[in-house]
Structures are given as structure tokens and as C-alpha cells.
Amino acid sequence: MNEIGSFGQWLEVSATEKQLLLFVKTDHCSVCEGLYPQVAALQDNYSFPFYKVNVAVVPEMAGQLSLFTAPVVLLFHEGKETARFARFVQMEELKHRMNELAEWERNDV
């Protein structure tokens, strides 16, 4: 999973990537640590890139994306948020929405 290290980097990534997943975590978050490997394991099944950001390191991300908890998994298509999963993520629902995103990608080609 690629790491976002600044809000400027996020702006560049979100402007250039047609589709992406963003995993948002923070320090000292046991739920984040438990969810991260489950989400990261899905990378091999999808062609769009996965990114992660620690909002303790890049606090601007929390304000700009209206993030009030962690972890948060966000899906983006053409720069727009299409799905948001916060705190306790239902993996089956996440996979369903990721499959939709992958289908949009196939249809756009």
C-alpha cells in the first residue's frame, strides 16, 4: 500500500488516479491495526491502487475529508468519493463496493 505523507501529495494522487482506495489510520488505534492487514490483503484482487495515510502525521487530511474517527476506508472514482466505511468495517460490504468500482473501471475502458 502506498503511503500519503502530505496533503499536497494527496491532492496530486487524487487528481491523477482514476480510481483508488484510501485507508485512514491514526496512532495508538487497535482497530486500525486489526483492519489494515485485512484491507491490504485485498490489493492483489483489484487493479486500482491502494493508499494509506496516518492522520496523526497528516492532520490536514482529517479536516479536508471530514474524518472524525479512525479507521476509515474511502473509495474514489474520478476524484469523487463513492463509498466511506468508518470504524468497524463490514468486509463483505467493502468488497461489494470495491467490485462495483472495478466494474466501473472495466466499463470505462
Q: Which residue ranges of the chain lie beneath pLDDT 70?
A: 108-109
Of residues 30, 7, 106, 31, the one with CA closest to residue 22: 7
Of residues 100, 85, 78, 66, the one with CA closest to residue 22: 85
Largest CA distance in the chain: 41
Q: Which three-class secondary structure state does DSSP give residue 44? A: helix
Average pLDDT, the chain: 94
pLDDT digits (tens, 9 = 90+) for 36-55: 999 999 999 999 999 999 99
Residue-wise burial string across 68-96, b where 16 or more C-beta atoms lie within 10 A, e elsewhere: eebbbbbbbbeeeeebebeeebeeeebee
> What was the pLDDT predicted at 108?
67
Which fold, 2-108?
Answer: Glutaredoxin (3.40.30)
Residue spans per domain, the chain: 2-108
> What was the pLDDT predicted at 104?
83
> What was the pLDDT predicted at 105?
74
